[in-house]
Copies of this chain bind each other. A is one copy, B any other.
Amino acid sequence: MSALLVTHLPDVRWLCGFSGSNAALAVTAKAAVLFTDGRYIVQAKQETRGARVVIAKKSALKEACTLLESLAKKAWFDPEHTSVAALEMARSAISGKVRRSFFAALNKPLVSELRMVKDADELRLMEKAAAMGDRVFNDLLPHIASGIPETDIAARLEFLARGMGAEGMSFDTIVASGERSAMPHGKASRQRVARNGFITLDFGVILNGYCSDMTRTVCVGRLTNEQRAAYEVVLEAQQAGVAAVKPGVTCAEVDEAARSVLRKVGLARYFTHSTGHGVGLEIHEAPRLAAGQTLELKPGMVVTVEPGVYLAGKFGIRIEDMVAVTQRGNKVLTKAAKALIAL
């Protein structure tokens, strides 16, 4: 009999509900056993469904491996989320004669692939998280003005999210104003919002473990004609990307749908990242919407569509929605306005 060793925490949570920071889940066709440590005695009991819970005395991983050896002839593991040292430790729990052959690397990330397609409960939760993101954005707008430090805007944003019941933020909130908007990952800094220019807000809330993700770029003061034109073309690219999302379309095709709009006006070289990514229990998960990605979208997948342009030393713009693939097309989960908002 073959077995599966699951140690990637979002996979563990998805399979059995446990959300702690240390876990090894041993799975065979007949049994599932979750190993964790003494910090989680109460929590593991409360959260875990469909697996027996064992509080490991020393190493959750090693105890899981010892059990696996008693139940199976071979155990598969996920090489993407298993460190070289963890694999060595897992092997050290297996008896000498089968040690080298007992663990085999999955040739694809089995659980991550299953997690790509969300069921109805997951979709409801993600829709709720996305709607909370929209409300946060709308309630935040009156608090944005020139002269305010980016960190104060992030503080207000996160306070609003928490007040609405968010468990936390999906990632470090990005508030990038003025020249900093040219940094795709410009975490909020002490810099104050300039008199004129863009402010890019990229953030997400977590609800029952599920992440939302959205980006809007707003402006204060005056924009140049170049800035206005760039905003319009990023919006057009984003809408083209969203329109391309439907079952049977490849991830590369969605990327190209957005990118080609920017290419026509010579801005594609300033679009320096991929068009989007899957989202769920992890803020970045499969699939990737990028050139060369031949995976076809399926109903139930939730992806972001987020083209941007970044002109170093000048400005940047990004617009991002969360989009669920439906039977016939798609449903945009984030509904906040995308027309340029001037504050």
With most chain B CB atoms within 10 A of its CB, the pick from A84, A158, A273, A310 is A84
| Smallest beta-carbon distance A167→chain B, Å | 7
Is the CB–CB distance between B162 and A154 below 8 Å? yes
Is the CB–CB distance between B81 and A83 below 8 Å? yes
Contacts of A168 in B (CB 8 A): 172-173, 187
Report A186-198 CB contacts with B as 1/0, cut-off 8 Å: 1110100000000
Interface: A85 (CB within 8 A)? yes
Contacts of A158 in B (CB 8 A): 155, 158-159, 162
Report A178-205 CB contacts with B as 1/0, cut-off 8 Å: 0000111111101000000000000000
The contact size tier of chain A is: 35 or more
List chain A positions with a Cβ less than 8 A from chain B: 20-21, 37-43, 77, 79-85, 87-88, 105, 151-152, 154-156, 158-159, 162-163, 165-168, 172-173, 182-188, 190, 272-273, 310, 312-313
With A41-B272, A159-B158: A20-B185 Cβ-Cβ less than 8 Å? yes
Which residue of chain B has its CB nearest to the CB of A185?
B39
Is the CB–CB distance between A80 and B85 below 8 Å? yes
| Smallest beta-carbon distance A200→chain B, Å | 13
Is the CB–CB distance between B272 and A39 below 8 Å? yes
Which residue of chain B has its CB nearest to the CB of A187?
B167
In order of increasing CB-CB distance, the 5 nearest A-B pairs are A155-B162, A38-B272, A79-B84, A79-B85, A159-B159
Contacts of A166 in B (CB 8 A): 151
Cα A166 to Cα B187 with chains together (Å): 12
With A38-B273, A39-B273, A162-B152: A21-B87 Cβ-Cβ less than 8 Å? no
| Smallest beta-carbon distance A301→chain B, Å | 22
With A83-B80, A84-B87, A159-B158: A273-B42 Cβ-Cβ less than 8 Å? no
Contacts of A185 in B (CB 8 A): 20-21, 39-40, 43
Cα A82 to Cα B155 with chains together (Å): 34
Which residue of chain B has its CB nearest to the CB of A103?
B84
Contacts of A39 in B (CB 8 A): 184-185, 272-273
Which residue of chain B has its CB nearest to the CB of A46?
B183
Is the CB–CB distance between B172 and A151 below 8 Å? no
Which residue of chain B has its CB nearest to the CB of A109?
B85
Is the CB–CB distance between A152 and B159 below 8 Å? no
Which residue of chain B has its CB nearest to the CB of A155?
B162
Contact of A163 among B77, B152, B165, B188 (CB under 8 A): B152
Contacts of A20 in B (CB 8 A): 185
Contacts of A159 in B (CB 8 A): 155-156, 158-159, 162
Is the CB–CB distance between A310 and B41 below 8 Å? yes
Contact of A79 among B79, B83, B152 (CB under 8 A): B83
Contact of A42 among B77, B85, B312 (CB under 8 A): B312
With A37-B273, A80-B83, A83-B82: A310-B42 Cβ-Cβ less than 8 Å? yes
| Smallest beta-carbon distance A171→chain B, Å | 9
Contact of A165 among B82, B87, B151 (CB under 8 A): B151
| Smallest beta-carbon distance A11→chain B, Å | 14
Contacts of A162 in B (CB 8 A): 151-152, 154-155, 158-159
